Amino acid sequence: MVNLTIDDKQVTAPKTATIYEAAKLNGVNIPILCHDKKLKPFGACRMCLVEVEQMKGRQIPACTTPVTEGMIIRTSTPDIIKARKMVLELLLLNHPLDCPVCDKAGDCDLQNLTYEYKVDSNRFADEKFHHQIDYNNPLIERDMNRCVLCGKCARICDEIVGFGALTFINRGIETKIGCEFEEGLNCEFCGSCISVCPVGSLLARPFKFKARFWSLTKQKSVCGYCGTGCNLTLGVKDNKVLTTLYDENQGFHNGQLCVRGRFGYQFINSDQRLTSPLIRTNGRLMECTWEEALTAVASRLTGGNSVAALATPRLTNEELFLFKKMMLDNVGSSNFDHSAGYAHAALTEGFSRSLGASASPATILDVQKTDLLLVVKTDSYETHPVIGFEINMGVKNKGIKLNIISDKRGKLSKLPGANTLVHSPGSEVAVLNAIAKSILDQKLTDGSASSIPGYAELEKALAAFTPEAVAASSGISADSIKKIAKDYASAEKALILFPVGQSYPGHNQEMASAVANLVILTGKIGKEGCGVLCMSEKSNSQGAVDMGFYAQNGGMNSLQILDACKNGTVKTLFIVGENPVVSYPNGANVKAALDAVDFLVVTELFMTDTAAMADVVLPACSFAEKEGTFTSTDRRVQYVKPAIRKDVKCKTDFEILSALITKLGGQAPSSPASVFAEIAANTSGYAGMSYINLQNNGAFAPVNVTPKLVASKAAPAVSAESGKLAMVTGSTLYHSGTLSQFGEGPMHVCPEAYVEMSRNDAARYKITEKDLVTVSSSTGSIKLKAKVTPRMPEGVVYIPYHFSETPVNAIWNGSAVTVVSIAK
């Protein structure tokens, strides 16, 4: 700490602080335009000028000058005020004063500072700029006429997002912010640039002319898409969510969001939302009353194990807990599951056998605290973009070594110093085993590793996974495997990340154990910046596991339930929020099962392909309309409260389940809070939590680890015969499950499925970008557009899984790698 004087007040500040930070810490506000706490100091706008006595009273920028012992700083002398006024006058010289039609008005730093410094006239005069406004994309509007050249957009796009879409173009008075060759913006549309823009140069187009900033009510919430658990501020007016607002102090991510979080909110107020219960009469779904619908459903929830349930892990913990309780106590069935079963197997089977807990021991906060990252699949960026930002910042600012094991390259492999090992599809577990084998061979294990249960068995099982043997099947050289083993084991702190989800069937219990073995063998667990983080797919995937909403004690898992529907063992299927017709493997089989089952109840927000097959459809509520808790992938339990009032004709899943429990003769809970109290009392790690102490930033449920080494079986590598290609599926950046199809933002940017292939394969099949091609496997064929990119290795194609129009499950039966042929 250093001692200094700010505006005649004796204060202290950390050694590393700048004058701006020291002042802020001590309650002195210095105006800024170009500074953001998340970005590196830049010093472009000269608004933060202060006087430092030791510097002969010169005016120096507070945001770039570090504090020193005994500094005497004055932040608002008459001279300083005069200088700031002049800066504003100069900025307003070119800035159009179109505030009445600017969406930024009310939230505009330039407007606020102009007001604060009473700049009511300008001594200068100049022509305004006449830059063309970039309307080329549906999400972000760029009006360079309003730009003050603070560079925040270009810097955040580089420093945090790592995309680099924007930059300074030209020189001197002609300088502007733009994209390469003056093109329109064509990026991943996370909107980070919008969030930091101090003026109205970058605006969210979906929000244009929707509401004045000051008329919005700000409602804090938690994003309903992936498992990262990002915090959101929803801008609400007239009971409608109109936009997401930026709050730099929100969450571990400082308000940073991805395209889904920022632009995917429209599904909440979509006019496609279901607003009435529907019951199938004479083959058609007809509107009915809640009483009719619930009575019909309750009458079919009898017969014990002939009733089965599938729920989406986007439900709250309270709803999942209640659902499970209803199934066990009131229905008498243990057949319930979520996410196609295998999507959570890494946690429920893999981690629980290897680590003694069905949760990840590391948290997202460890990403920036580690020395070395081992990331399985470059898709990690696409499934969890905000964790991707953390990786990017760690690699660029803290020099974290990044190693990637993946079947394709991606944005992560472009980070400085990234070491990407591209393996043949489906061989990731074998590669992880080979790394473990190499760690043993090179004697790089932690001192206590040999005393951990399972060591001898693992050593024996790994004998087949010599780096040389795996090199042959995986396509990664033995030397690379040995090097990565050495780097990983010798790093003081190392963290492994891998995504799981319905589109990653290979990321199962075997991968989880293979990864856990590396962690345990090298003793990289239980320390800050160490361990493993399994990145779960949906907003409450970890919660669903914690609540135990999966097949246990002889209950059937998702895929078994569907088979049982087909053979008649299951007579009633209760689906809450899942859309298996599109997202589960082998679509034809799912449809046959749903056709065959006697009675299908679907609780949904939208008329999905699954809901369309139901006998009763119940309209439910989104995350913005209910109270409850979500557990993020790193087991942070966060509280959400309704941001808007729900439609009177809809019920939350909590209300639906409560009503059904009453109808089944049970005792319905009084409120989500009472259910959470029960959860806190019965769930390991949740003890002591309550809605009150979760209000701010939530709380981590600790994970207690009992390590055990478990030999994991590697699937045999799949090699496509000549003339065929290996197809892998996955999540694309803009989407999450099938829900994001109802978010206008994601659909504007990525409206349909595509098949991504390498340039060489494209040339071989004479396919060019956007050609309509037919991809066929042994189970069927689909037609989709081609996308030719440099990131795909030869012989491998990639198809994302989210889309109802062209569901990949027409050609995919749930195997990690599918052999396909492709024709134009």
Partner 1 sequence: MSDAVAQQAAEQEPVIDLSIADAIIDKYIDMSGNLMPVLQAAQDEYGYIPRCVADHIAERLNVYPSQIYGVLTFYAQFHLKPRGKFIIRVCVGTACHVQGAPRIVETFFDKIGIGHAETTPDLRFTFEKVACLGACGMAPLAMVNDSTYGGMTVQKVDDIIADYSKRPLK
Closest residue by Cα to residue 734 from 745, 719, 725 = 745
**Among 35, 41, 68, 36, residue whose Cα is nearest residue 52:** 68
Question: Cβ 367 to partner 1, closest distance in Å?
Answer: 22
Element (H, E) at 473: helix 467-474
Q: In the bound complex, what is the minimum distance in angstroms from residue 157's beta carbon to partner 1? A: 8
Closer to partner 1 by Cβ: residue 150 or 285:
150
Are 34 and 43 in contact, with CB atoms under 8 Å apart? yes
Pick between residue 171 and residue 766 the one whose CB is nearest to partner 1.
171
Tokens of 303: 């017969």
For residues 755 and 737, give the distance between their C-alpha atoms in angstroms, rounded to a whole number.
18
Q: Quote the least distance from Cβ 406 to partner 1, whole Å.
A: 17
Q: What is the closest distance, in whole angstroms, from the C-beta atom of residue 181 to partner 1 in the complex? A: 6
Among 366, 359, 455, 357, residue whose Cα is nearest residue 705: 357
Closest contact distance (angstroms) between CB of 400 and partner 1 is 18
How many Cβ atoms sit within 10 Å of the Cβ of residue 37? 11
Q: Strands 307-311 and 572-576, how do they pair?
A: parallel
Q: Cβ of residue 180: shortest distance to partner 1, in angstroms?
A: 4
Contacts for 523 with CB less than 8 Å, ≥ 6 apart: 445, 446, 447, 448, 449
SS3 at position 820: strand
In the complex with partner 1, the residue whose CB is nearer, 115 or 168, is 168
CB 175 → partner 1: shortest distance, Å? Answer: 9
Q: Which residues bind partner 1 (CB under 8 A)?
A: 154, 158, 163-171, 178-181, 414, 790
Q: Minimal distance in Å, beta carbon 412 to partner 1?
A: 12
SS3 content of the chain, % helix, strand, coil (to 5): 35, 20, 45
Q: How far is the CB of 822 from partner 1 (least distance, A)?
A: 25
How is the beta sheet containing 2-6 ordered, strand by strand? 9-13, 2-6, 72-74, 49-52, 59-61
Where are the alpha helices (H) located in 172-316, listed in sequence order? 192-196, 259-263, 290-300
Between 176 and 324, CB nearer to partner 1: 176
Least distance (Å) from partner 1 to the CB of residue 154?
Answer: 8
Choice between 103 and 158, CB closer to partner 1? 158
Query: DSSP secondary structure string, 78-143?
Result: HHHHHHHHHHHHHHHHHS---GGG-TTTTS-HHHHHHHHTT----S---PPP-PPPB-SSSSEEE-
What's the closest the beta carbon of residue 484 comes to partner 1, in angstroms? 21
Report in angstroms how near the CB of residue 195 gets to partner 1 at its nearest. 19
Cβ atoms 603, 653 nearer than 8 A = yes
Tell me whether residue 124 or residue 168 sits nearer to partner 1 (CB atom): 168
Smallest distance, Å, CB 150 to partner 1?
16
Residue bearing tokens 């809901």: 611
Closest separation between CB of residue 182 and partner 1, Å? Answer: 8
Q: Are 792 and 758 in contact (CB under 8 A)?
A: yes
- Residue 409 or residue 507: which is nearer to partner 1 going by CB? 409
In the three-class reduction of DSSP (H, G, I as helix; E, B as strand; rest coil), residue 534 is classed as strand
In the complex, the smallest distance separating the C-beta of residue 420 from partner 1, rounded to whole angstroms, is 12
Toward partner 1, which CB reaches closer, 166 or 355?
166
**3-class SS letters over 639-651:** EECCCCCCCCCCC
Select 169 or 444, whichever has its Cβ closest to partner 1. 169
Nearest alpha-carbon partner for 636 in 354, 275, 387:
387
Which is closer to partner 1, CB of 179 or CB of 551?
Answer: 179
Measured CA to CA, the distance from residue 446 to residue 501 in angstroms comes to: 31
As measured in angstroms, the least distance from the Cβ of 191 to partner 1 is 17
Nearest CB to partner 1, comparing residues 27 and 172: 172
Identify which of residues 418 and 784 has a Cβ nearer to partner 1 in the complex.
Answer: 418
Of the pair 178, 746, the CB lying nearest partner 1 is at 178
What angle, 0 to 180 degrees and rounded to 10, lies between the N-to-C axes of helices 587-596 and 558-567? 50
**CB closer to partner 1, 157 vs 808:** 157
Token digits of residue 375: 């990331």
CB of 171 or CB of 284, closer to partner 1? 171
Q: At its nearest, how many Å lie between partner 1 and the CB of residue 75? A: 34
Closest Cα to residue 647, out of 321, 366, 401, 290?
Answer: 290
Alpha-carbon gap, residue 486 to 572, rounded angstroms: 54
Interacting residues of 171 by C-beta distance below 8 A, sequence separation 6+: none
Query: Is 805:794 a contact under the CB 8 Å cutoff?
Result: no
Q: How crowded is residue 443: how many other Cβ atoms within 10 Å of its Cβ?
A: 7
SS3 773: strand
Distance CA 382, CA 444 (A): 33
Residue 654: both structure tokens together: 């909590």
Q: Which is nearer to partner 1, 152 or 635 (CB)?
A: 152
In the bound state with partner 1, the residue whose beta carbon lies nearer, of 125 and 173, is 173
Q: Which two tokens stand for residue 7?
A: 């505006």
